[in-house]
Structure 1
Amino acid sequence: MKTRLAILGVGRWGTHLLRNFLAHPQAEVVAIADPNLDNLTQCQAKFGLEEKGIIITSDWQILPQIGLDGLVIATPACTHYRLIKEALELGYHVLAEKPLTLDPSECLELTRLAQQQQRQLMVDHTYLFHPAVKRGQEIVTDGQLGELRYGYATRTHLGPVRQDVDALWDLAIHDIGIFNHWLGEQPTAVQAQGQVWLQPNYKTVHSPKGLADMVWVRLIYNSAFEAIIHLCWSNPDKQRRLCVVGSQGSLIFDEMSSDAPLTLQKGYLEPQETRFIPQGQIREVIELEKAEPLQQVCDRFLETIRTQKSCSISSGWLGTQLVQILSCISISLQRQGEIITINY
């Protein structure tokens, strides 16, 4: 029997979710809902939804009347708490776009509610399902980099510029999630500084001085590993690059490199008298399986419903941890770079 789903929010990312669930043999998209009529019209034209008998509505409140198994939520982050809570209380399984909410206490409440309702709550942390991230985690765990020393990441582009969250909340969760996944641990402290240029008058709980367009983040781990992340949505130089450096080599995930998204750059320094000489320098392109990360997310969500087993790498609990980390980074940003300890 197919899993009956409704998709709430069919903007840029919701459209991708719709495409994947329409193509999945174990899913039946029953309805889409979006208050933006243009989004609904575009989806109808692109996918022929009415011909498929799919309900198209601007009011999600009618959805409980049509019999659903799960709800896919791809709406602005500020709406997540209310919508996810209502969906869980109605007995639906939920796949939510990241971040789970903008408040760690709300995330914890929703995760516990899902547990009480015996329903699956999964967060769409798409990068954790990327073949390069999966293979990279295996390489790090195998010890091929030697002693892990530090990491860095850059996530920059020229728009889109959001008005509900700043560049930190829009972009950082991806790289934080990858670092945590590869290291098998969460940061114990964070530090951040940033700049507001475009929207000083757009203020939120996390951004009382305006939405930061550029942010530098420092993640501090208990293992002594540290990572620096550069985030900016006002930079014509589009980059999606993350690196973990060890004593024997560096692992580089460069999403903009279509030919070699994951490379292992081997090399180490050998002491010779008073000098250090580079040795063993070899660049290895890592072969990856062919798979669309979002397709993997959709497949895993349907599997969690079918098996009633939560997704270990993208559950509500992991989503809560990441929101807690982001909240602490925001505090450091507001306090102009003060180091903030994270209490999980």
Structure 2
Amino acid sequence: MPGIGLIGYGYWGPNLARAIAEVDAAALSAIADMSPAALERAGRRHPSARLLTDWRDLIADPAIDAVVISTPVSTHFDMALAALRAGKHVLVEKPITDNVFKASLLVEEAARRSLVLMVDHTFIYTGAVRKIKDLITDGSIGDVYCYDATRVNLGLLQKDVSVIWDLAVHDFAILDFLIEARPVAISASAAAFLPNSPETMAHLSIYFDDGAMAHLNVNWMSPVKIRQTLISGRQRMIIYDDMQNSEKIKVYDRGVDLAEGQDDDRERRVSYRMGEMWAPQISTKEALITEIEQFVHSIESAERPPSDGESGLRVVEMLAAATRSAALRGQPMELVDLRRAS
């Protein structure tokens, strides 16, 4: 049973600590945070965990086999690199780092030491997203044409990252998990509506090497919370609404078919398929529990997790491209060029 140490007990850290404690195959051995108040809360909820004010002491503890990092993104690189160099497996909150070069260094370090490097892209461990993956993999949807997502809410405004790094990161991770094709270019338009603030809203377009396209609408200044995604395929279409308590996924047997032949009259060649809708059964297991179980399994078996370091690196490449495009008012950024520059 691996002993796991958690660095950071602020916003997301308590959720990770609870999930670690609930997984029978793992032990929450230590928690580190600079805040005495945070450590006091952690001690009440996890009395068996060692409490530390310096994360370096946690990494140096020989009883710790793996480190989970839940701190601001600007600190991820130094903490993760120190943990890897100390021979610890690492699970780091999304995004893995704040730039491509640092992410690539972590991936190289983990590979060199044969350690698990995993990113907390929680959505790909939800029952809904995994069911969509199954529907795409088994051919039920057909070739994926389009992924169109709206991810908006009021707040939480961040000081250190823009809405692209806070919200679009989820869809980048989901796209990397669902679609075999790879993005080749990204265009983004963004705006900041508050003084001395990062961008609070953005529209992004992602172009894939097989002709598929994704469009993302992310916003911190919406009066309502919306989490809805349309996935259009050659055979069927999916509506994924994460705000629904039941029927989060609805599959529609609908689409457009073109008849064979060379007739120039398109109206005579096009037919619209209006089939039934069904809502497949999905697992209700908490995504964080599944994620921690995957982390432990990967440590024990050396099996590559779905959200491994390389996946995290690809997500950061997309974030960097989108940020650069937004700074240039929507100019498309080629990911190959960005990768070479990094």
Q: Same fold (TM over 0.5)?
A: yes
User: Can you list the C-alpha shifts for 1:75-131, whole angstroms capped at 9, x where unaligned?
Assistant: 000000000011111111111011110111111111111111221111111111111
Query: How many Å apart are 1:271 and its aligned residue?
Result: 7.1
Counterpart position of 2:262: none
Q: 2:27 matched to which residue of 1?
A: 28
- From 209, 212, 219, the equivalent of 2:206 is 219
Match of 1:331 among 324, 337, 342: 324
C-alpha displacement of 1:57: 2.1
Check whether the contact 1:167–1:213 (CA below 8 A) recurs between aligned residues: yes
Partner residue of 1:283? 277
Partner of 1:37: 36
> Which moved further from structure 2: 241-250 or 82-91?
241-250
* Match in the other structure for 1:56: 51
- Partner AA of 1:172 in structure 2: A
1:322 corresponding residue in structure 2: 315
Aligned partner of 1:302 among 288, 296, 299:
296
Within 5 Å, which residues of 2 pair with 1:1-344? Answer: 2-45=1-44, 47=45, 49-50=46-47, 52=48, 54-63=49-58, 64-65=60-61, 67-198=63-194, 200-202=195-197, 211-269=198-256, 274=267, 278-311=272-305, 313-343=306-336, 344=339
Unaligned runs of 5+ in 2: 260-264
Counterpart of 2:17, as a letter, is L
Question: How many residues align structurally?
Answer: 329
**d(CA) in 1 for partners of 2:255 and 2:85?**
55
What CA deviation, in whole Å up to 9, does each residue of 1:268-316 have, x standing for no partner? 34679836564333111011123111111100111111112331x1111
Q: C-alpha deviations, 1:133-153, integer Å up to 9, x for none?
A: 111112122332344322200
- For structure 1, list consecutive stretches of 5 or more residues without a partner in the other structure: 203-210
With 145-154 and 282-291 compared, the bigger mean Cα shift is at 145-154
| Range with bigger deviation, 34-43 or 78-87 | 34-43
* Cα distance change of structure 1 residues 125 and 270 upon mapping to structure 2, 3 Å threshold: closer
- CA deviation vs aligned residue, 1:33-61 (integer Å, no higher than 9, x gap): 1112232222333x1x33x2x21122112
Q: What is the distance in 1 between the residues matched to 2:69 and 2:323?
A: 24
- Residue 207 of structure 1 is matched in structure 2 by none
Cα pair distance change 1:337/1:56, threshold 3 Å: same
Residues in 2 aligned to 1:190 and 1:123: alpha-carbon distance in whole angstroms? 22
Alignment partners' CA distance in 2, 1:177 and 1:281: 31
**TM-score, scaled to structure 1:** 0.91
Identity %: 27
- After superposing the two structures, state which structure 1 stretch, 323-332 or 57-66, moved more: 57-66
